[in-house]
Homo-oligomer: A and B are copies of this chain.
């Protein structure tokens, strides 16, 4: 089917979907969870085609691992859907209400966005994930997955659509664009009037391409050059633990620490201790001249290193003269994701919290907590690094809009 036809069918489905009760939506989501488990053999068979094609193409072990579906992983996906069914449904709630002097009663009601477009790479778990979050919030979803996962995505979406249809609802609420060409991605990004928001999920290249080419509103997610600043007045043992955790607990994620900033007063005392721990963990250190003196085997850091999101066992180190220099260094190089200060000085902490320009700013904690589940949202559609609509971890509320409903008795404007 042509892209425009698919988009129009998806758009049409949003009206009935927006009217469904919470119970009806949960029934569908739970039924899809059951159906995914029941049909896991078919899904795995489709996934094997993708896996074989990936191996043929010499895809990396890491990418193949992300692509692979097993009985266990499908059970994990299904359990994720059941969790979403348990979450509170924000749709229909009145978040504000006021009466104007002329008697007009104005309510602000939480409503679905409408049609959410999601462009993602070869991670078939995203397909079911995104469907459940959108469906729960009454949004239709138009999915564009990577070509490397196309057979897996088709199998998963087939199960989702058949389940929706069997329960008597409109299956176009979950539509997959099977044409995986770049051309169709470009066309999708310009479907104003059909798609209300585009969420790219994937690497920096994908996100950059969507931001540059989309005319549909975009929520930019993902890239994180996260800093930890160790102030002169810090608990240095705590600093070692937090940096170790933020750098090494999981390296390929956007909330991992990539850049260290250290007050010059403590470099002689702190850096050798930190260096031992980082070497133990196999972390490569790229440091500026002042800090290299205290970090055995470190390499020279170039300006470009301070702007890098390594997503690897590498960290940059920068020495600063004071907290102002730390803040301006971070505000210059960060991606607006997550930054942390280690300090016992509450004044320095408040200054850092106020002046750092990022979605999440921490005092004495690991940047790894920037996550919808860790924040207690019960779900995550991504982590926004832009300032419009949603910032930081996005739970169900990020998939909602609002409308004003106004009750009058004949009011006219003078």
Q: What residues make up the interface of A, taking CB atoms closer than 8 Å to B?
A: 15, 18-19, 98, 100, 104, 106, 113-114, 190, 192, 196-197, 211-215, 217-220, 235, 238, 241-242, 244-246, 249, 328, 331, 349, 353-355, 357-366, 368-369, 374-376, 386-389, 391-392, 401-413
Task: Say how far A238's CB is from chain B's closest CB, in angstroms.
Answer: 4
Contact pick for A376, options B98, B113, B387, CB 8 Å: B98
Residues in chain B near residue A98, CB distance under 8 A: 376
Ranked nearest first, the 8 interchain pairs of A and B with the lowest CB-CB distance are A365-B408, A245-B412, A387-B401, A368-B413, A389-B389, A365-B411, A238-B410, A388-B389
Complex contact A197–B360 (CB within 8 A): no
Interchain CA distance A406-B393 in the complex, whole Å: 13
Q: Is the CB of A405 within 8 A of B353?
A: yes
| CB nearest to A362 among chain B residues | B406
The complex places the Cα of A4 from the Cα of B403 at a distance, in Å, of 37
Query: Complex: how many Å from CA A244 to CA B410?
Result: 12
Expressed in whole angstroms, the minimum distance between the Cβ of A377 and any Cβ of chain B is 11
C-alpha gap A98/B377 in the complex (Å): 11
B364 touches A409 (CB 8 A): yes
Partner of A369, one of B219, B358, B365, B411: B411
Task: Tell me the complex Cα distance, A360–B360, Å.
Answer: 33
- B18, B361, B368, B404: which contacts A392 (Cβ < 8 A)? B404
Q: Please name the residue on chain B nearest to A368 by beta carbon.
A: B413
Q: Is the beta-carbon distance between B249 and A403 smaller than 8 angstroms?
A: no
**Chain B hits for A365, CB < 8 A:** 104, 406-412
Residue among B217, B331, B355, B412 making CB contact with A218, cutoff 8 Å: B217
Closest to A370 in B: B404
Nearest Cβ on chain B to A326's Cβ, whole angstroms: 14
Which residues in B have their C-beta under 8 angstroms from that of A220?
A: 217
- Beta-carbon contact of A410 and B242 below 8 Å: yes
Kindly list chain B residues whose C-beta atoms are within 8 Å of the C-beta of A402. 391
Q: What B residues does A114 contact at CB under 8 A?
A: 357, 387
What's the least CB distance linking A304 to chain B, in Å? 16
* CB-defined contacts of A18 to chain B, threshold 8 Å: 355, 357
- Out of B217, B249, B375, name the residue touching A100 (CB < 8 Å): B375
Listed by A's residue number, 15 A-B pairs whose Cβ atoms lie within 8 Å are A19-B355, A114-B357, A196-B388, A211-B215, A241-B412, A242-B410, A245-B412, A357-B403, A359-B404, A360-B403, A363-B407, A365-B410, A369-B413, A391-B404, A392-B404
A408 touching B15 in the complex, CB below 8 Å, given contacts A358-B403, A388-B388, A391-B401: no
Closest Cβ of chain B to A207, distance in Å, is 11
**Given A196-B388, A366-B411, A361 contacting B100 (CB threshold 8 A):** no
